[in-house]
Chains A and B, each alone.
Chain A
């Protein structure tokens, strides 16, 4: 029986085996290419992104629609600005917190007053109207703990965490209110799941001991207030030492890095959280179709059996510079090798 993308995904999330491994290629700027628009023009109008996402979904037979625009759109709501480039993700043009003292009077902005966030909500509503409950729609909220990298710069933020605990807590309190409101607005608009980007919590960024008292504490204050399932994504950062801790925050999915072994991650995650990953989005740019097929087979062989696995790249966004032929090869390989019961795996691994 062929399942819808929603049925396929829900089965995998329930740690069961659907008809095939769900394909979660998280594509953003590729929609601009489909419509023949610049990236800046593409993100200026919700209708463009709706059309772009629907075309990408059909073209690459993905199992999700991705309502993410770019990370800095959240900082725009706080008074920040965005710099658009021709061939990659729009960038946060500079910090909004230039002195730690500014944190003392910082208050979360209202979601309703941010034009960029309004476009994202319109996009989700439009996608929901087109696909109903057949395809999962992914919304995105940057973790309150990771948002300060854009709000004030990573180095200044690390200084704050280590040297000014009271101000750090004040910043977290403001950010938590923003993130909760933003995530729930997307769910109200029709998003199925919220991708909670939290790269600072990765053990690439901070040690586990610090995570337990900061990023994990924040996640425990945020995730129960989000009225839907969440996927915690470390944007290609490592998670192995804290995978169990992340599962304890109540998240349903964890996005994992190409720097870690999927089989080892699956052994820890099995039955607790679903893994999303971990194709190397940077290398992907120059893969041949054969290399793409091998990478897909390897990922499925390591993590596909028993469900609890969504095939995707490892950063939370496929780079714009990854060409169509690679994405088509990934899609074809997922279709060919992702069919359950995956009875080819044992022989292939030998």
Chain B
């Protein structure tokens, strides 16, 4: 990891918004906005995600880092910018339960990484399946906190498969962290152990789908 990423990560972890903004502006002197995102913002968020997974940083730091980066990226790469990553059509949802924090963090990380995606808020299985089919979603990100909600992902995956939609499902949230086999059991295509890992997986899928 280069010094620029290290320094930016430290600014995020200490919630130094002004310092982070200065770092981005400094980098913009020699890089394009999308290069700043790909070479500095995303790697720093990935490092923070890994550090949360190993217990070195806390969820509050992950959340605030995502918010800071989302605002910075919004300023330099507005939603209308052609460099924004609109494809594949992606959506994020909290399934069934009311714990919205995980979705909020991943949504921020996705947008801070240059993605545009639908935010479905909180939905139950029927509503989610209908909406995914109507929007012709190719990548669906599902966040849960409760075990019963995690098990409902199986219904979502089964029904989307039956409908013949070529959609990939990535899941995340506490039940999947505490039971490493659960994402396979419910028929998801992958799990994100942290927000940044989810972004990385979606980026890889995007490249595959465009190839």
Interface residues of A (CB under 8 A from B): 83, 85-89, 91-94, 153-155, 158, 161-162, 203-207, 210, 236, 238, 240-241, 258-260, 280-283, 285-286, 319-321
Contact = CB atoms under 8 A, between A and B. Distances in A.
Given A93-B98, A319-B147, 18 more contacts: A88-B146, A88-B147, A91-B97, A162-B64, A203-B55, A203-B58, A204-B55, A205-B58, A206-B60, A207-B57, A207-B60, A240-B55, A259-B177, A260-B55, A282-B178, A285-B179, A286-B179, A321-B151
A206 B58 CA distance: 5
Interface in B43-64: 55, 57-61, 63-64
A278 to B, nearest CB: 11
B148 interface: yes
B98 A83 contact: yes
Contacts of B63: 155, 158
A240 B56 CA distance: 11
B146 A89 contact: yes
A91 B144 CA distance: 13
B28 to A, nearest CB: 26
A89 B99 CA distance: 13
Contacts of A88: 146-149
B5 interface: no
B64 A206 contact: no
Contacts of B178: 236, 258-259, 280-283
A205 B63 CA distance: 10
B138 interface: no
Contacts of B206: none
B23 interface: no
B201 interface: no
B104 A236 contact: no
Contacts of A94: 98
21 contacts: A85-B148, A86-B148, A153-B100, A155-B104, A161-B60, A162-B60, A162-B64, A203-B55, A203-B58, A204-B58, A205-B59, A207-B58, A207-B61, A210-B58, A210-B60, A236-B174, A238-B55, A280-B178, A286-B181, A320-B148, A321-B151
Interface in B125-175: 146-149, 151, 174-175
Contact of B59 (A206, A241, A283): A206
Nearest to A200: B60
B147 A321 contact: yes
A162 B63 CA distance: 11
Contacts of B177: 259
B11 interface: no
Closest 3 CB pairs of A and B: A282-B178, A88-B148, A154-B101
Contact of A280 (B15, B96, B99, B179): B179
Contacts of A203: 55, 58
A92 B147 contact: no
Contacts of A158: 60, 63-64
B15 A282 contact: no
B27 interface: no
